[in-house]
Amino acid sequence: MHNAKPFEGALRLRSRLFMRLGIPITLLFFLLIPSTTLGQLPLEGQILPPPSIFGGGSTTEAVPQGTPIPSPMANAGQRRIRVFSRSSVRWQLRWFPSNDGLERIGVIDSGVNIIIDNLNGFDTVDISTDRLVIWTPSNSLPDLEGNSAQSGDAPLEFYLEGNIVFRQGDRVIYADRMYYNVQEERGVVLNSELLTPIPGYQGLIRLKAEVLQQIDKYNFQGFNGALTTSRLGVPGYWLQSGQFTFQDAPDAIGPTLTESSLFGGGDPAQKRINARNNLVYLNSWPVFYWPFLAGDLDRPAFYLESVAVRNDQVYGNQIETDWNLFQLLGMRRAPPGTTWTGSLDYFSKRGFGLGTNFRYDRNRFLNHDGRVYGFFDAWGIYDTGFDNLGRGRRRVPLETNRRGRILARHRQELHHDLQFTLEFGLISDRNFLEEYYEEEWDDEKDQATGIELRKTRDNHSWAFWSQVRLNDFFTETEWLPRFDHYLLGQPVFGDNFTVFSHTNVGYPKLLTASAPIFPPDLAKFDPLAWEFEREGLRAASRNEISMPLSVGPTKIVPYASGEFAYWKQDIERNEATRLLGQLGVRSSLPFWRVDPTVRSELFNLNGLAHKVVIESDFFYANSDFLLENLPLYDQLDDDSIEFFRRRFFFDTFGGIAGGDVPLRFDERYYALRSGIQRNLTSPTTEVADDLMLFEVNARQRWQTKRGLPGSQRVIDYITLNLGAFFYPKPDRDNFGESVGLVNYDFVWNVGDRVSIVSDGQFDFFEDGLRTASLAGVVSRPGKLRYAGGIRGVDGPFQSTILFGSTSFRLDHKWLINYGSSVDLGDTGNIGQRGQIVRVGESFLVGLGFNYDHSRDNFGVGLLVEPRFLPGRINRLSGMPIPPVGMNGLE
C-alpha cells in the first residue's frame, strides 16, 4: 500500500500532463520512470539511424491470454469490462483514492487480459498486459467481473506495462508501455509494433515506432518509426521515418478535390501513411532517401517497385526501374483503385528510356456511378542503335531516333445501360513495337484510336462509333462515323420463330500502309490483294429467321437469311450493291450411356459416362456480287499478321511485286470456306459469296467421379471433338477437294495432375495446311509444372517443332524455370530461356538467360522484385509465391 502511492502518483501526473500539456512535456515525465529508456526524440529534419528500430528482435510472438466467459451484451451507451488472469495466478485489484477524492486508482500487478465490450456502441477491445493501472470516477467504478456495465460516458484510463498486446478489430499492437483513454480511444505507446491487414494484400503491414500516439480510433502519429511487411526481427528491408502519421480507417480521409471532381468518393477501406525524412534500408544499409512519403498502402512498396539488370547483344547493358509516382510526388490522397508508376531505363547500345503507366479500376468517375477502368501507358527513347527483328533483318536502320508509343484505353459504364469506350494509340515508327514490345505486338489487339457509345439491353444492342488512323505505316479503315444495331434471338409469332438482325451504316476510308525505307524490307513490301485506298458510304442489313423444332430427341432448326449491302466504292471505284440469300438447316442430337461398373485404380476411374452431341449444319448461299471485287473495309487480321503476310508472298512463294499469294492461302477465302457469313455477328461484311457446305461435328465427353467418399465430384476424363466440312461444289468452294477443314481436339485428364492433349486441322488440296500436335502436362501445385510436346506443320512450308518448359520448386527458397524450342527440320534451334529464383523473406531475386536464334541474341539478366507485388517473376515462375508474412514468420 505504501509503496504504491508514488507509482500511482507519477502515473496520474503523466496522464494529466498528456491530456493538458501535450506530448513533449508528457514524454519528459515518462523518462522519470526507470522501467525503460525512451531515447532521444527525433528533431524536425533529422535523418534517423537504423539500429534502434529493428535491433532488438521481433515483438510479435503470440502472448497467451485468458479464455473469456461469454456474457450478455451491454445496453446502448454502456460498456462492459471483463478481466481474466493471463496465467494460472489469480489477479488481484487494489484501489486507491485520488488526492481530491474524485477518482479512484486501481492497480493490478499480475498478468491480466481485459476485454471491453460495446465500446462506443459496437466495438470490442482486447488487451493483455503484465501490469495495469486504472483511473475512473469514484462514483462510477467498473465491475471488472463483467456482471454489470459502466456508462459509456464515464472517464476510464489505463496505464499498462510489460508484454502488452492490444487488439481492436483486425489491428494488433504489441508494446512495452502504453497509456490508453478508453472513452476517447486514444493514447501513447512506447516501443510499439502495430500489425494490420490492408485491402488486396494477403499479408500484414508491420509498423514499429519508439513513440506511437493514437490520436483517435483510426489515426496514429509516431516518431522514429519503421514500416515493412517482413516478420523477421531485423527485416531484409524497411522504410524508416523521422515522423509519420498513419490512418487505418474506413474512408479515413474525406474525398479530395481530385477524388470529388474526377474519381468520386474515397474507398471504404483505406490504409494511408504520411511520413517525413524517409530512408529505405536493404539489409540494414540505407539505399535511398526521399524527404516525404504519402499515399495508400494497398501496394506496400517504398518508391522503387522493381529493378532489372540485364545484358544482351541487342540492347547492351540494361538497367530497368519502375517507381511509385504517387509516393515520389507526395500525393497524400491518391484516388483509391489507381496505380501510377514511372519507368527510368538505360540501354548502353540504345540510350535512356523514360515512361509512365497509370491504371484505374473504380466504381465512380466524374460524379457518375458505374464501373470505370482503363490505363494510360507512354514510353519513349532517343534511340542511337539498330533494330534486330530476326533472320534477314538483324541490323535494320531506324526511321527516326525519337521513338516511343502512347497507348490509352478507357471504358465506363453509364446510366441507362450505356457504355462509353475511348482508345488512343500513337506509335513512332513501324518497327518500334516489334523491337521493344514483341509480346504485345504478337498477341495483343491493334493499337487504334477511336471512340464508341454503346447501349445494350436484353437482346438489343446499338453502337455509335468513330475511328481514325494515326499510324500511317499500318493499313487501317477510318470510320467517320459508323452505326451498328443488333437484335439477337427475338421470338416472334408465339415463340414459333426466332429473328436475328444486324444493320450497319457508316462512312469508311480505307488507308493502306506506307512503304518502308529499309531497302531489304522495301524489296519485300507489296500491298495485299484487297489493299486499295477507297472511301465512301457503306450500308448493310443482314436478317435471319429460324424455326426451332423438336423431332424426338433431335433439335432441328431450319433458317433463312438475306442481306442487302451497298458500297460507294468497290476496288474499281464503282458503286456496288449486293443481294445475298442464304438457306440452311441446323441439327443437334444428344445421346449418352452410363456404366457405373467401370472402375480402375490404375486409370483413376469410378464409373464412366459417355456423352455425345452430333451437330450438323447444311448451308447454301447465293450472292450477286463477287467477293474479290471488294476492298476489305473490315480487316480480318491484326497488323502483325498483315506484316507477315506481305513477306510471306516473297519468302515462301518467291513472289514478284504486283502479284498475290494463291487464293487458297488468302485470308478472305479461308474465312469464306469456314462459313463466316453464316453468322449475323460476323466481324466482316465484305466476306460473303456463293457457297454450299455441310458441316458435321461430334462433341464427346467421357466423365467419371473423383474425390473422397461423400465428396466426390464429376470431372471430364476425356474430351474428343471431331469436325469436318463437306463441299458439294468442290471446284468452286474448296479448290477441288470435297472435304476440308477436318479438325479434332483431344484432352485426356489421366489424373488431377497429369493431362495429355492433342489437336489438329487438315486441308487436302495442293499444299493445304496440315498440322497436328501432341503434348503432355504434369503439375503438382506449388511444386512442379512441366509441359512438353511436338507439333508438325505441312503445307506451303514444313516444320516439326519439339518444345518443352518446366517450373520446379527445389525447396521453399529456390525455384527454377526452363523452356526450349527446336525445329527438327532445316530451321534447327529456335530458342531457350532459363531462370533460377531465390525466394527471400522480403524479395524475389531471379538470375536468368535467354537465347533467340533468329536474332542471334544471347542475354543474361538479374531481376529483383518485392515479394508482395504480383510482378514479372511471379508470372514467369508459373507458381504462386505467397506474400511475405502471409504464413507468419518464415
Average pLDDT over the chain, rounded to whole? 84
pLDDT of residue 300: 61
742-771 pLDDT per residue, tens: 999 999 999 889 999 999 999 999 999 999
pLDDT of residue 88: 81
On the question of pLDDT at 190 being above 70, the answer is yes
Grid coordinates of 624: 450477286
Q: Angle 23-30/4-21 helices, nearest 10 degrees?
A: 160
Phi-psi region of 732 (alpha: psi -120 to 50; beta: other; left: phi over 0): alpha
pLDDT of residue 398: 94
pLDDT of residue 91: 87
Residues 213, 219: Cα–Cα separation, whole Å:
9
Q: Tell me if 205 sits within 8 A of 271, measured CB to CB.
A: yes
Residues 58, 197: Cα–Cα separation, whole Å:
18
Query: How sure is the predictor about 424, in pLDDT bands with cuts at 50, 70 and 90?
Result: very high
Q: Burial level of 312, CB count in 10 A (0-12/13-18/19+)? A: buried
- Amino acid making up residue 244: F
Give the E-state strand segments of 601-632 in sequence order: 605-623
pLDDT (mean) for 285-291: 85
On the question of pLDDT at 562 being above 50, the answer is yes
Residues 418, 463: Cα–Cα separation, whole Å:
10
Distance of CA 22 to the CA centre of its chain: 46
In Å, what is the CA distance from 79 to each residue of 131, 184, 813?
Answer: 22, 13, 49
Residue with cell 423438336: 550
Better-scored residue on pLDDT, 644 or 67: 644
Could you tell me which of 614, 548, 612, 552 has the C-alpha nearest to residue 585? 548
Lowest mean pLDDT among 64-68, 336-340, 358-362: 64-68
pLDDT of residue 86: 86
On the question of pLDDT at 17 being above 50, the answer is no
Query: How sure is the predictor about 604, in pLDDT bands with cuts at 50, 70 and 90?
Result: confident
Query: How sure is the predictor about 312, in pLDDT bands with cuts at 50, 70 and 90?
Result: very high
Q: Can you spell out the DSSP letters for 80-101?
A: EEEEEESSSSPP--EEEE-TTS
Residues 661, 526: Cα–Cα separation, whole Å:
11
Grid coordinates of 362: 473504380
Grid coordinates of 26: 508528457
Lowest mean pLDDT among 148-152, 620-624, 628-632, 710-714: 148-152
On the question of pLDDT at 250 being above 70, the answer is no
Better-scored residue on pLDDT, 368 or 27: 368
pLDDT of residue 251: 47
**What is the rounded end-to-end Cα distance, in angstroms, of the chain?**
47
Lowest mean pLDDT among 277-281, 356-360, 415-419, 624-628: 277-281
On the question of pLDDT at 121 being above 60, the answer is no
Angle at 864 between CA 440 and CA 311, to 5 degrees: 65
487-497 pLDDT per residue, tens: 999 999 888 99
On the question of pLDDT at 727 being above 60, the answer is yes
Q: Tell me if 198 sits within 8 A of 271, measured CB to CB.
A: yes
Residue 328 phi, psi (nearest 5):
-65, -35
On the question of pLDDT at 819 being above 60, the answer is yes
Q: Can you spell out the DSSP letters for 54-80?
A: HSS----S------PPP-PPPPTTEEE
Q: Can you spell out the DSSP letters for 808-848?
A: EE-SSSEEEEEEEEEETTTTEEEEEEEEEEEE-SSEEEEEE
Is the previous residue joined to 481 through a cis bond, with omega within 30 degrees of 0?
yes
Query: How sure is the predictor about 436, in pLDDT bands with cuts at 50, 70 and 90?
Result: very high
- CB-based contacts of 247-251 (< 8 A; 24+ apart in sequence): 247/218, 247/219, 247/220, 247/271, 247/272, 247/273, 248/171, 248/196, 248/218, 248/219, 248/220, 249/217, 249/218, 249/219
Collapse the DSSP code of 17 into the 3-class scheme (helix H, G, I; strand E, B; otherwise coil) and give the result: helix
Locate all alpha helices (DSSP H) within 3-153, ordered by sequence: 4-21, 23-30, 51-54
Could you tell me which of 725, 675, 672, 718 has the C-alpha nearest to residue 696? 725
pLDDT (mean) for 692-721: 93
Grid coordinates of 513: 500502309
Q: Tell me if 252 sits within 8 A of 332, measured CB to CB.
A: no
Question: What percent of the chain is modeled with pLDDT above 70?
Answer: 84
Q: What is the DSSP letter of 520?
A: H
Q: Can you spell out the DSSP letters for 405-474?
A: EEEEEEEEE-STTEEEEEEEEEESSTTHHHHH-HHHHHHSPP--EEEEEEEEETTEEEEEEEEE---TTS
- Amino acid making up residue 622: N
Residues 617, 557: Cα–Cα separation, whole Å:
9
Residues 320, 357: Cα–Cα separation, whole Å:
14
The enclosing H or E element of 724 equals strand 713-726
pLDDT of residue 610: 96
Residues 243, 42: Cα–Cα separation, whole Å:
8
Tell me the sheet residues that pair with 465. 452, 482
879-888 pLDDT per residue, tens: 666 655 555 5
Q: Burial level of 643, CB count in 10 A (0-12/13-18/19+)? A: buried
Residues 683, 671: Cα–Cα separation, whole Å:
11
Q: Are strands 460-468 and 576-600 parallel, antiparallel or unpaired?
A: unpaired
Residues 373, 370: Cα–Cα separation, whole Å:
10
pLDDT (mean) for 789-800: 94
Residues 812, 879: Cα–Cα separation, whole Å:
12
pTM score, whole prediction: 0.77
Question: What percent of the chain is modeled with pLDDT above 90?
Answer: 53
Residue with cell 450500308: 539
pLDDT of residue 793: 95
197-210 pLDDT per residue, tens: 776 666 778 888 88
The enclosing H or E element of 889 equals none
Sign of the alpha-carbon torsion through 626, 629, 633, 637: positive
Query: How sure is the predictor about 826, in pLDDT bands with cuts at 50, 70 and 90?
Result: confident
Q: Tell me if 801 sits within 8 A of 821, measured CB to CB.
A: yes
pLDDT of residue 239: 84
Better-scored residue on pLDDT, 886 or 456: 456
Q: Tell me if 695 sits within 8 A of 675, measured CB to CB.
A: yes
Phi-psi region of 316 (alpha: psi -120 to 50; beta: other; left: phi over 0): left
Could you tell me which of 506, 563, 508 has the C-alpha nearest to residue 539? 506
pLDDT of residue 258: 37
498-555 pLDDT per residue, tens: 999 999 999 999 999 999 999 989 999 999 999 999 999 999 999 999 999 999 999 9
Tell me the sheet residues that pair with 862. 309, 847
pLDDT (mean) for 232-258: 68
On the question of pLDDT at 357 being above 50, the answer is yes
Lowest mean pLDDT among 58-72, 92-106, 358-372, 700-714: 58-72
